[in-house]
Amino acid sequence: MENYKITTLNDFIILKQKDFTYAKGELSSLLHHIGTAAKMVNKKINKAGLVDIIGSAGEVNVHGENQQKLDVYADEVFIGSLLASGECCGVATEENENEISFSDTFASKGKYIVCIDPLDGSSNIDFNVSVGTIFSIYRRITQRGEKVRNEDFLQNGSKQVAAGYIIYGSSTMLVYSTGNGVNGFTLDPSIGEFCLSHPDIRTPENGSIYSVNEGNYVHFPEGIKKYIKYCQEIDKDSGRPYTSRYIGSLVSDFHRNLLKGGIFLYPENKTAPQGKLRLVYECNPIAFIASQAGGMASDGKRSLLEITPSSLHQRSPFYVGSKGMVKKVEEFLDFYNR
Query: Is the dihedral angle over the CA atoms 6, 8, 14, 15 positive or is it negative?
Result: positive
- With respect to ligand AHM, which residue has the nearer C-beta, 219 or 226? 219
Q: How far is the CB of 229 from ligand AHM (least distance, A)?
A: 20
Could you tell me how many residues of this chain bind ligand AHM (CB under 6 A)?
11
Could you tell me how many residues of this chain bind Mg ion (CB under 5 A)?
2
Residue type, position 21, single letter: T
For residues 173 and 187, is the Cβ–Cβ distance under 8 A?
A: yes
Is 253 a binding residue for Mg ion by CB under 5 A? The answer is no
CA 206 to chain centre: 21
Q: How far is the CB of 213 from ligand AHM (least distance, A)?
A: 3
Chosen from Mg ion, ligand AHM, none, partner binding at 172 (C-beta under 5 to 8 Å by type): none
Chosen from ligand AHM, Mg ion, none, partner binding at 250 (C-beta under 5 to 8 Å by type): ligand AHM
Q: Which stretch binds ligand AHM (CB under 6 A): 20-28, 144-152, 243-251, 286-294?
A: 243-251
Binds ligand AHM by CB under 6 A, chosen from 197, 213, 243, 314: 213
The residues in 95-114 that bind ligand AHM, with binding defined as CB under 6 A, are none
Query: Is the dihedral angle over the CA atoms 323, 329, 330, 335 positive or is it negative?
Result: positive
Is 248 a binding residue for ligand AHM by CB under 6 A? The answer is yes
The residues in 286-315 that bind ligand AHM, with binding defined as CB under 6 A, are none
Binds ligand AHM by CB under 6 A, chosen from 29, 122, 136, 186: 122
Binds ligand AHM by CB under 6 A, chosen from 87, 95, 120, 330: 120
Is 249 a binding residue for ligand AHM by CB under 6 A? The answer is yes
- With respect to ligand AHM, which residue has the nearer C-beta, 162 or 283? 283
The residues in 269-288 that bind ligand AHM, with binding defined as CB under 6 A, are 276
What is the CB neighbour count within 10 angstroms for residue 272? Answer: 15
Query: CA-to-CA distance for 304 and 280, rounded, in angstroms?
Result: 10
Chosen from Mg ion, ligand AHM, none, partner binding at 71 (C-beta under 5 to 8 Å by type): none
Q: Which stretch binds ligand AHM (CB under 6 A): 33-41, 119-127, 163-171, 283-291?
A: 119-127
Q: Which stretch binds ligand AHM (CB under 6 A): 34-42, 116-124, 193-201, 298-306?
A: 116-124
Give residues with Cβ within 8 angstroms of 20, minimum separation 6.
none
- With respect to ligand AHM, which residue has the nearer C-beta, 186 or 249? 249
Torsion region of 156: left, alpha or beta (phi above 0 gives left; psi -120 to 50 gives alpha): beta
Query: CA-to-CA distance for 69 and 158, rounded, in angstroms?
Result: 33
Binds ligand AHM by CB under 6 A, chosen from 88, 250, 296, 320: 250
Partnered with residue 112 across adjacent β-strands are 88, 139
Is 121 a binding residue for ligand AHM by CB under 6 A? The answer is yes
Q: Which stretch binds ligand AHM (CB under 6 A): 80-88, 135-143, 152-160, 248-256?
A: 248-256
The residues in 96-125 that bind Mg ion, with binding defined as CB under 5 A, are 117, 120
Query: CA-to-CA distance for 58 and 56, rounded, in angstroms?
Result: 5
Rule CB under 5 A: which residues touch Mg ion? 117, 120
Binding site for ligand AHM (CB under 6 A): 65, 94, 120-123, 213, 248-250, 276
